């Protein structure tokens, strides 16, 4: 799969196409929900091993890691953590095999960093729930078979629902004209009187802590994945600098270029140690969500800065897709924003350190 993806990702990104044909291959290789138990069809690997999978996927393109993150951390995980036994056995094996695709509907037009302000409602009607609302910036939306939709019930309690996307009243609108994450599907989800059986509610979800716990899982994978992108832009810049000459010397011999490369290697090394330690804590069951905020905040930002520095080293060549750097740089602008912006994670950590909440 890696050879096919590496050879073709330039064309997929340029054409704005996600290669759906790779999804079953990801399933065969055990990449989807890899750190979940084997009893539901997943690989059951350690969280460190899962992180390395995210690393290698994002080294190719953030869109590939984003797909796997959503499928595993934001679709399979909430079903595993909050679903009924019937829901687990119905959905998880198919999702793990790549035979079914899911998406995660939390963010709304007016509620990116403030999910508690959601307007999507789930109205109880006998043995059904009727969903109304709009979700925005949803990865996999147009290719998903099911959507994990978060909505407030009649008591204003946030609940999760497994919604088949072919349900009448459910519509996914493809977001076009993106200049980032172009090899990834991004959608708006519109629900107009979407009626689903009450049994489609994830029974253990109650309150905003449920979707936020899912985001913690996804942010963990991002903390690893961003370093894969950093490796890609570093290798691109290093190779270019050794072959590009000015004034009869390779630019790799220039102090300013070496400074940029040294910063990239140092940030990558520090970030990998941070991600590894986080994985050890996660495997031990002692990881805290604020530690994930620290890793997501730091590793994505240093990867983005590395991509910008690599682009500078590449000069004019750095704006072409013949080199992966500009593609990674533009993708990382999105990764730096979603799953909690750099500023939001700063305030999460600040609250944890000081005891004062600057978010509200």
Active site residues: 339
How far is 14 from 6, CA to CA, in rounded Å?
14
CB-based burial label for 6 (10 Å; 0-12, 13-18, 19+):
middle
How far is 328 from 63, CA to CA, in rounded Å?
10
φ, ψ of residue 143 to 5 degrees: the values are -115, 5
Where helices occur in the chain by DSSP H, the ranges are 2-15, 23-28, 47-60, 62-69, 77-82, 85-96, 209-243, 255-284, 289-314, 325-337, 342-354
Burial 296-314 (b: 16+ CB within 10 A, else e): bbbbbbbbbbbbbbbbebb
How far is 89 from 96, CA to CA, in rounded Å?
11
Instruction: Give the number of other Cβ atoms within 10 Å of residue 151's Cβ.
Output: 26
Spatial CA neighbour of 141 closest among 179, 181, 110: 181
Radius of gyration of the chain (CA): 21
- Both tokens of 91, joined, read 């959905």
Using DSSP bridges, classify how beta strands 170-174 and 186-197 pair: parallel, antiparallel or unpaired.
Answer: antiparallel
Whether 95 contacts 239, CB under 8 Å:
no
Q: What is the DSSP string of 122-169?
A: EEEETTEEEEEEEEEEEETGGG-SEEEEEEE-TTS-EEEEEEETTSTT
């Amino acid at each position: 799969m890696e050879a096919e993806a590496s050879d073709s990702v330039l064309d997929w990104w340029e054409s704005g196409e996600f290669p759906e044909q790779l999804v079953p291959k990801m399933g065969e290789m055990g990449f989807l929900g890899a750190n979940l138990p084997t009893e539901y069809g997943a690989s059951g690997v350690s969280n460190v091993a899962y992180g390395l999978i995210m690393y290698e996927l994002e080294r190719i393109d953030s869109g590939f890691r984003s797909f796997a993150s959503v499928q595993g951390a934001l679709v399979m995980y909430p079903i595993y953590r909050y679903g009924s036994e019937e829901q687990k056995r119905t959905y998880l094996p198919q999702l793990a095999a790549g035979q079914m695709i899911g998406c995660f509907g939390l963010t709304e037009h007016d509620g990116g960093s403030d999910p508690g302000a959601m307007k999507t409602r789930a109205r109880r009607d006998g043995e059904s729930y009727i969903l109304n609302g709009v979700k925005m910036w949803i990865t996999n939306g147009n290719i998903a078979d099911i959507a994990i939709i978060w909505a407030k019930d009649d008591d204003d309690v946030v609940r999760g629902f497994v919604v088949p996307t072919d349900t009448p009243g459910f519509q996914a609108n493809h977001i076009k004209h993106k200049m980032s994450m172009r090899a990834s599907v991004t959608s708006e989800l519109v629900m107009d009187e979407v009626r689903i059986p009450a049994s489609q509610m994830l029974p253990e979800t109650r309150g905003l802590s449920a979707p936020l716990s899912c985001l913690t899982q996804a942010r963990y994978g991002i903390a690893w994945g961003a370093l894969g992108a950093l490796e890609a832009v570093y290798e691109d810049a290093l190779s270019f600098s050794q072959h590009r000459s000015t004034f009869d010397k390779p630019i790799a011999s220039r102090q300013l270029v070496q400074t940029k490369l040294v910063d990239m290697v140092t940030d990558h090394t520090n970030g990998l140690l941070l991600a590894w330690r986080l994985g050890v804590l996660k495997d031990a069951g002692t990881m805290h969500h604020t530690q994930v905020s620290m890793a997501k905040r730091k590793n994505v930002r240093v990867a983005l800065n590395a991509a910008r520095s690599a682009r500078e080293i590449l000069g004019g060549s750095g704006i072409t897709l013949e080199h992966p750097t500009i593609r990674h740089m533009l993708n990382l602008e999105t990764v730096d924003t979603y799953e909690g912006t750099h500023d939001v994670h700063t305030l999460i950590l600040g609250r944890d350190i000081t005891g004062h909440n600057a978010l509200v």
